Structure 1
Amino acid sequence: MSTSTVAKPQAPKPARGRRRISLPVLLLLIAGLLVLVSVVRLITDANGITSTGQMSTALRLAVPIGLAGLGGLWAERAGVVNIGLEGMMILGTWFGAWAGFQWGPWAGVVFGIIGGALGGLVHAIVTVTFNVNHIVSGVAINILALGATRYLSTFAFEGEEGGTSKQSPPVDSLGTFDIPGLSDWLQTLNGKHWFLVSDLAGLVGGIFTGLSPLTVIAVALVPLTWWVLWRTSFGLRLRSCGENPVAAESLGVNVYKYKYLAVIISGGFAGLGGAFLSLVASNIYLEGQTGGRGYIGLAAMIFGNWMPGGLALGAGLFGYTDSLKLRGGGTNVHALLLLLALLLIIGAAYFVWRKRYVHAAITTLVGVLVFLWYTTTNEVPNQVVTATPYVVTLLVLSLSAQRLRMPKADGMPYRRGQGK
């Protein structure tokens, strides 16, 4: 009897996934970027790009974007897409200013959260209970919030001193504070314009100068969100609803309850961001003052790969680019053209190292064009300064899109018992 050799089946190779950037590598990249920024500041003499005032303004502008992004994070980790963040922020601005005018700024903070949470409740009812498309529901909330606040303003603010149908009377401020001694020392060090040292002093000084109590609360909510969602059983159940709700239900998780809680909390975060705008950023409600920050917050969440830390970095980036409109304007943006050109050249070198020559050629060409723009002009037009935050949003999302990994069941319809 002849024997035949049977080839043993080979085990399938595991799929190659994209490696996540480790914390040491991320810190090294941030340090390298700071060195590059310092070099650009010395070459261009644009000291404003890392000044304490610039960083303080950037933090103030980043807070509402970050709060909106945290709201999107909570909802999408439970599987609900929340395009309605902009509308929930609008509700937060109106309710915050209304209650702040009636009973003081801290009451405004509470009512701002409640206003946003009401918008989140509506979104949860429509999407979770009635399974309406999440995008349609979110857009409807944005439209309804704008119309509702315009209607309510005619009753609440018209006839009051300083109030009209489009704005509220002034609201008492929550106040600001500095870290005694440290703030002044960092500002002095920043004024020396030393290489890297002064830039670090400006960055840290901006965090400790002119702080609002609400800013401290907002910053603390980032690590708190990470701890709740990734270190508690409540967070594990909530995230399981966004990854595989059928499996979560089979293990006894009440998927509807967690989706409702997540979307209501999401609205509360967005409402807090809106209250920040009307109580801290300007101490007045003004129609249209959200300025698309709900959408930019959603972009920051996507840039951060649905993680709180990455979201905070994204909010900081968008807040910084937004602050360029208020401080330095065209001069600072012109200096940043040189930074962009250098980053593109470094990116081209990286593509050459990875043997992706077409990408390297395109990146080099764009880098040369940006460098020519920098060398042939002295200042950029105001229109470019105004558009910078939105251009940066598009660029960052397009460049980081390949490394994104959204929750698997994000935006997918779910019915109780559908796995049976």
Structure 2
Amino acid sequence: MTVVTDPRSAAPLEEPAEARSRTRRYLVWFAAAFALVAAVRVVTGADDISSAGALRAALIAAIPIALAGLGGLWSERAGVVNIGLEGMMLMGCLGAGVFTYHYGILAGILGAIMFGAVGGALHALTTVVFGVDHIVSGVGINIAALGITGFLAEVFFAGLPGGGRTQSPSLSRPPALTIEPIADAAADIAGKGWFLISDIAAVVVVLTRNLSVLTILALLLVVFTGWLLWRSPFGLRLRSCGENPSAAESLGVNVYRMKFIAVTVSGCMAGLAGAFLVLVSSSGYQNNMTGGLGYIGLAAMIFGNWRPAGLMIGASLFGYTRAVELRGGADSLHALLLLIAIVLVVMAVFQLRAAHTRKGIVYAVIAAGFLAWFLLTDSVAPDFGSAAPYVTTLAVLAFASQNLRMPAANGLVYRRGSVG
């Protein structure tokens, strides 16, 4: 890898051309996956797997995962493992419910960010200042958040009209963007069933009809994070703290401050993910409504190799399989078998080309099993749809594991003046 070095940091920097090449590679993979879904739709006749409704459901399912993963990215690029994202999301959910009900949508979003920031600052205090093991601190935050939100939900919502001990009343939704002429024309093309063209038109419908401002904000945050962490001096200093904090300190970087900022911002992102769950994914707050999405966000971040673009692809993958399961069509679930089989074949080919014969054979055998399942059956039990998102996440993590490189000092306790 071609690298250059900033005079204020020992962390290597990629050349712009290399970064652009990686972005193009991500885009090619995304386009290939989209074309594969379109082909499976045509072959199986399961039109719903790439309909505007399915893609909208996939986007709504992917955004909180992406925001949680973005929080993990900020924290881990500064060298702090943040397994407490789940708890910070729960805090954000509660903040969104309380502040939205009493003060409106904007206050609800800000309240969710504030509640998440409290969790992030607590994690920073325990890990950066007191040197507590990062995993222990994160697990503690998750457990504490589960109890605190359950208690405070009863305090805030019990007795309110439509509320209860475990849930808030129905809440207003954030405003949404609709560009009616474009959306109508795209919907007409999407209904034609043409290969790839109709599928692209369905994407246009999703992006131009009833698109929540929170969705737009989340997508902008992914782009902004990529620019800030990889194209600015601040981002270079922050990433240097996750690669070699001692070298960064010797060159004038305040490592403690950078880590504290990064982990607090991580909590803000997780809190915003909680706000999305409360205000967009559902119509109000419920206890423990995150359902493990914070952990899935971490998995998406790892799948994306600690980078925003790859993270978004991982979140989209989980969101898509989750959307197919939620929409629940028998034809869609059956078509998903063929889609998984083809993906596993591709994974097997890549493993064999990389001389990983054993892994390649394993993937090929599993692919043959899914293909046989598709050919020999006409329907799939709904339980498969419930498990598909999690099985898919594990599969892609196993596939990508050999090419992953986390920040070198990630998870290590840092003390000023230490060497190495």
TM-score, normalization by structure 1: 0.92
Asked if 2 retains the 8 angstrom alpha-carbon contact of 1:329 and 1:385, the reply is no
Query: Alignment length, in residue pairs?
Result: 402
Partner residue in 1 for 2:123: 123
Residues 290, 417 of structure 1: CA spacing in aligned structure 2 closer, same or farther, 3 A cutoff? Answer: same
Partner residue in 2 for 1:196: 196
**How far off is 1:214 after superposition?**
0.9
**How far off is 1:360 after superposition?**
4.1
**How far off is 1:357 after superposition?**
4.7
**Unaligned runs of at least 5 residues, structure 1:** 1-18
Partner residue in 1 for 2:5: none
Distance 2:356 2:296 in 1: 31
Distance 2:322 2:248 in 1: 41
The answer to which of 279-288 and 126-135 deviates more is: 279-288
Partner residue in 2 for 1:402: 402
**How far off is 1:368 after superposition?**
1.6
Distance 2:372 2:265 in 1: 48
Distance 1:261 1:353 in 2: 43
**How far off is 1:57 after superposition?**
1.1
Partner residue in 2 for 1:371: 371
Asked if 2 retains the 8 angstrom alpha-carbon contact of 1:330 and 1:385, the reply is no
Correspondence 1:20-419 to 2 at 5 A? 22-351=22-351, 353=353, 357-419=357-419
The answer to which of 204-213 and 252-261 deviates more is: 204-213
Asked if 2 retains the 8 angstrom alpha-carbon contact of 1:56 and 1:210, the reply is no
Instruction: Provide, for residues 240-295 of structure 1, a one-character-per-residue CA deviation record: whole Å limited to 9, x for no partner.
Output: 10000000110111100000000000000000000111112213100121111101
Partner residue in 2 for 1:3: none
Residues 43, 270 of structure 1: CA spacing in aligned structure 2 closer, same or farther, 3 A cutoff? Answer: same
Distance 1:23 1:119 in 2: 32
**How far off is 1:176 after superposition?**
2.3
**How far off is 1:179 after superposition?**
2.0
TM-score, normalization by structure 2: 0.92
Indicate the SS of the match to 1:181. helix
Distance 1:96 1:192 in 2: 40
The answer to which of 388-397 and 65-74 deviates more is: 388-397
Asked if 1 retains the 8 angstrom alpha-carbon contact of 2:30 and 2:313, the reply is no
Asked if 2 retains the 8 angstrom alpha-carbon contact of 1:117 and 1:264, the reply is yes
**How far off is 1:355 after superposition?**
5.7
Distance 1:326 1:266 in 2: 29
Asked if 2 retains the 8 angstrom alpha-carbon contact of 1:91 and 1:116, the reply is yes
Distance 2:323 2:294 in 1: 17
Distance 1:242 1:354 in 2: 30
Distance 2:319 2:183 in 1: 21
Asked if 2 retains the 8 angstrom alpha-carbon contact of 1:212 and 1:280, the reply is yes
Look up the equivalent residue of 1:271 and give its one-letter code.
G
**How far off is 1:172 after superposition?**
1.7
Asked if 1 retains the 8 angstrom alpha-carbon contact of 2:153 and 2:287, the reply is no
Look up the equivalent residue of 2:66 and give its one-letter code.
G
Asked if 1 retains the 8 angstrom alpha-carbon contact of 2:26 and 2:309, the reply is no
Instruction: Provide, for residues 46-69 of structure 1, a one-character-per-residue CA deviation record: whole Å limited to 9, x for no partner.
Output: 000100111111111111111101
Distance 2:228 2:353 in 1: 41
Distance 2:92 2:28 in 1: 38
The answer to which of 270-279 and 194-203 deviates more is: 194-203
Indicate the SS of the match to 1:87. helix
Indicate the SS of the match to 1:325. helix
Residues 299, 392 of structure 1: CA spacing in aligned structure 2 closer, same or farther, 3 A cutoff? Answer: same
Instruction: Provide, for residues 208-243 of structure 1, a one-character-per-residue CA deviation record: whole Å limited to 9, x for no partner.
Output: 322111111111001100111111111111111000
Distance 1:195 1:253 in 2: 53
Residues 238, 349 of structure 1: CA spacing in aligned structure 2 closer, same or farther, 3 A cutoff? Answer: closer
> Looking at CA atoms only, which structure, 1 or 2, has the larger radius of gyration?
1
Look up the equivalent residue of 1:120 and give its one-letter code.
G
Distance 1:365 1:380 in 2: 20
**How far off is 1:352 after superposition?**
5.1
Residues 37, 154 of structure 1: CA spacing in aligned structure 2 closer, same or farther, 3 A cutoff? Answer: closer
Asked if 2 retains the 8 angstrom alpha-carbon contact of 1:322 and 1:388, the reply is yes
Instruction: Provide, for residues 108-157 of structure 1, a one-character-per-residue CA deviation record: whole Å limited to 9, x for no partner.
Output: 00000000000001100100111111001001100101100111122111
RMSD after superposition: 1.8
Partner residue in 1 for 2:4: none
Indicate the SS of the match to 1:40. helix
Partner residue in 2 for 1:9: none
Distance 1:109 1:29 in 2: 34
Indicate the SS of the match to 2:87. helix
Distance 1:204 1:180 in 2: 11
**Unaligned runs of at least 5 residues, structure 2:** 1-17
